């Protein structure tokens, strides 16, 4: 079995074979057969969107030199795959999401390419995520409004609330609620 390198052309057969253009200029249909732990069968949209970001690794089926197999895609150095981030990383690229697992930097990045939904935990989660900086800003604004409130009692109007010190102290506690590691946009 010979291993060949080629480029994805963007063409596919109706039964899922992906066309690869070899260095010789010949285009051959190849059955995608990626090995575990990656279970992946690209569709026409994926091929058209990302064909220029990879080169294809092709071989033939054992005892059948007529049946070509697409056994791997190797990322080219592009903006999607900067050269210094390829080592020790795992990258999942679908039509609508990019998932980057960087073991070297201990990071997990999920980037919806469209208006996708990200669920943390499992598919049944219902609690919405909060934008920490925005929430901190809103709470501090609310505390400022409370600090400025005046009250009327039998002696007349007071300048500030009796518990203004406790209210003001809350402002300093908000930075402790923000994650030092996890971020969102």
Cα–Cα distances in Å, from 32 out to 75, 102, 118, 125?
16, 26, 28, 34
Position 11 scores a pLDDT of 92
Kindly state the helix (H) or strand (E) to which residue 141 belongs, with its residue range: helix 132-147
Taking only the tens place, the pLDDT of each residue in 97-111 is 777 777 777 888 887
Q: Which residues contact 136 (CB under 8 A, 6 or more apart)?
A: 174, 175, 177, 178
Q: What is the pLDDT of residue 79?
A: 62
Among the ranges given (8-17, 78-87, 90-99, 176-185), the one the predictor scored with the smallest mean pLDDT: 78-87
What span, in angstroms and rounded, lies between the C-alpha atoms of 42 and 23?
22
Kindly report, residue by residue over 33-86, the tens digit of the pLDDT. 875 555 567 788 888 888 888 888 888 888 787 889 888 887 776 666 555 555
Predicted pLDDT at 26: 92
- The pLDDT score that the predictor gives to residue 93 is 74
pTM: 0.53
The distance of Cα 101 from the centroid of its chain, to the nearest Å, equals 9
Are residues 83 and 102 in contact, defined by beta-carbon separation less than 8 angstroms? no
- The whole-chain average pLDDT of the chain stands at 79
Q: Which residues pair with 32 in a beta bridge?
A: 70
| Domain boundaries, given as residue ranges, for the chain | 4-76, 132-176
Whole-angstrom distance, CA of residue 95 vs CA of residue 42? 9
Q: Could you tell me what percent of the chain has a pLDDT over 90?
A: 10
User: Phi and psi (nearest 5°) for 102?
Assistant: -110, 95
Instruction: Give the tens place of pLDDT for each residue, 12-32.
Output: 998 889 999 998 899 999 988
Determine whether domain 4-76 maps to CATH 3.40.50.300.
no
The count of other CB atoms within 10 Å of the CB of residue 30 is: 24
Number of separate helices (H) and strands (E) present in the chain: 3, 10
pLDDT, position 19? 94
């Amino acid at each position: 079995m010979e291993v060949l390198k080629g480029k994805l052309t963007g063409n596919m057969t109706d039964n899922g074979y992906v066309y690869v253009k070899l260095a010789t200029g010949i285009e051959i249909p190849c059955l995608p057969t990626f090995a575990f732990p990656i279970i992946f069968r690209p569709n026409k949209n994926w091929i058209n969107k990302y064909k220029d970001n990879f080169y294809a690794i092709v071989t033939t089926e054992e005892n059948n030199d007529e049946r070509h197999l697409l056994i791997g895609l190797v990322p080219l150095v592009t903006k999607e795959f900067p050269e210094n981030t390829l080592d020790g990383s795992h990258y999942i690229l679908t039509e609508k999401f990019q998932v980057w697992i960087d073991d070297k930097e201990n990071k997990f990045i999920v980037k919806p390419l469209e208006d996708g939904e990200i669920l943390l935990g499992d598919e049944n989660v219902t609690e919405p995520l909060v934008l920490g900086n925005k929430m901190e800003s809103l709470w501090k604004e609310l505390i400022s409004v409370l600090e400025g409130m005046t009250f009327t009692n039998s002696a007349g109007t007071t300048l500030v609330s009796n518990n203004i010190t406790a209210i003001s102290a809350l402002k300093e506690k908000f930075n402790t609620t923000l994650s030092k590691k996890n971020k969102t946009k």
